[in-house]
Structure 1
Amino acid sequence: MSVKPIVLYPDHILRKSVKRVQGITSFERGIIRDLIDTMAVQPGGIGIAAPQIGYDRAIAVIDVSSREKGKKRLILVNPELLTGEGAKIGREGCMSLPHHTGNVSRYERVTVHYHDEDFKVRQIAAAGIEAICLQHELDHLNGYLFLDRVHSVARDVFRRKVYRRHPPSASKK
């Protein structure tokens, strides 16, 4: 399919609960391909949900393999959080809020029930960055952003630093 533009906050689609998927058709396969293609070109992107590219379907993709050995890409259709244990505050960013990060409290370990890209029922027990990413993308499917999970916007949301490249020095002759 193709790389889609990222929907940015405060677009209303980011605040809506999505429609559950009833089965995998060519339409859903197209969304999955668009999610994979779009996430692949995002620097540091490890997760993306359908609302972030304009679709109101319960589909998300995560891939933390660049940060945790042995992990692989997950296609999540109709994911649901079954259990969560422990609590940890960590810094999160989001492609839909590209200029901000926030200190967010998340479960350290989760169990998620979902369908895969072939609509087979699956379940995953995850910890670490994978658990955090799963919760972040589930939030997107339910109309929440990390801003909704911080204790205080004033204390826990930060503007990203912008690093500017300096033009190369002109060589003296």
Structure 2
Amino acid sequence: MNATTHAVFGVAAFAGACLAAGVEPPVYAYPAAVVAAWLPDLDNPRSRLGNGLSRMRSPALNLLSRPLSWALRATSFLLARTVGHRTLTHSLPGLALFSLPVWLILRGHPTLALALVAGYASHLLADALNTRGVPLLWPLGRPFRLLPGGIRSGGAAEIVVAVGVLVLAGYALALLHPALGGALGLS
């Protein structure tokens, strides 16, 4: 799946988790869910985060983001060379390795922790729709697919799925934030 689809899945998963928990999330948590949804692809140097956020058009932003960009590229290179793409970061052990420190560090900010974990988990769900699937029990077992054959990344089916999830996310956001629902004419 592409970065936009993962972002949509991340917001939808976070909004759904907040609805299930009965929590009204702060607005700043949504971008955290998007970044977390991109995080498993850090093992791919060509991904949104793996390429170090690319170069920005603003020289000031480039200067500010350069240390983070170098760190992302170095981590991506290390992951790609040691475990490869769609291995550890796309598995349940990888989700656990990500979630445990998040819950421990953000104990005082449970909604932000939920955003990060839901975003990360949404990536696994989205990629389980893909033709390659995800190795949920890595390093054991075969890739897991939610659909026989799966959906080709970048194809028309991915767009249809992303739009469907976007509609569900919009509905969940309208339920979570009544003012937004009223502005959209849903209330």
- TM-score of the aligned structures, taking structure 2 as reference length: 0.23
More helix as a share of residues = 2
> Which structure carries more relative contact order (alpha carbon 8 Å, separation 6+)?
2
- TM-score of the aligned structures, taking structure 1 as reference length: 0.25
